[in-house]
A and B are shown apart, each in its own frame.
Chain A
Amino acid sequence: IAGITQAPTSQILAAGRRMTLRCTQDMRHNAMYWYRQDLGLGLRLIHYSNTAGTTGKGEVPDGYSVSRANTDDFPLTLASAVPSQTSVYFCASSGYPTDTQYFGPGTRLTVL
């Protein structure tokens, strides 16, 4: 069992380009989340999905979009990347019975 996988591991991107970060889980968890981690700020929630077909906005959603077409996948898209989106991005999932969130390995994104 892999748990949660994220791709790519790291990426350097030119400002203005479109980028999709991929996240896949094999634990059949209902809920999935995207966080960004910035130095000195901890992790902040970008978007979440409580179940396939539904999504919601977190604390810092501007400039990001998500979709949840099925239980396993939860991609995060930056439509037009800006340097302030340089960060480490973590995907997480949680499910019954503990609802504890488990994290993927993260994607380091640099926008130049």
Chain B
Amino acid sequence: AQTVTQSQPEMSVQEAETVTLSCTYDTSESDYYLFWYKQPPSRQMILVIRQEAYKQQNATENRFSVNFQKAAKSFSLKISDSQLGDAAMYFCAYRNNFGNEKLTFGTGTRLTIIP
């Protein structure tokens, strides 16, 4: 079974600075997807970024980028120029590219932005 580990329960960063959230996963599959979701206090789960395992290039979405290290099974999220609106829980998630396509989530990292 796949597992996803987020070893940082809480992180904080000064506004306008850069922060990196860590995620590692365990799988025997070679074809899969990885995601970062953001959950602000509103409770809504919002997709931040998605990475296909077969792509060597790291995904980027504006101020959000990932460092995908397939051999190390590591998938960290970098947030540049942090803004107050980035304060939220961040969840890393894994999905196989077959079967029922369920998401396996990590336990989350709570990110605080310091004004």
Contacts and interface: CB of A to CB of B under 8 A. Distances in A.
Interface string B23-35: 0000000000101
Interface residues of B, number: 21
Interface in A31-88: 31, 33, 35, 40-45, 48, 50, 56, 58-59, 88
A26 interface: no
Q: Give chain A's interface secondary structure class.
A: strand
A43 B102 contact: no
A105 interface: yes
Given A40-B107, A42-B107, A43-B91, A48 B45 contact: no
Interface residues of A, number: 27
A108 B42 CA distance: 12
Given A42-B91, A43-B91, A90 B45 contact: yes
A101 B96 CA distance: 13
Given A40-B107, A41-B107, A42-B107, A100 B102 contact: no
Nearest to B47: A100
Interface of A: 31, 33, 35, 40-45, 48, 50, 56, 58-59, 88, 90, 92, 94, 98-103, 105-106, 108
Interface of B: 4, 33, 35, 37, 42-47, 50, 91, 95, 100-103, 105-108
Name the 5 nearest CB pairs between A and B, nearest first: A103-B45, A42-B105, A43-B105, A42-B107, A45-B102
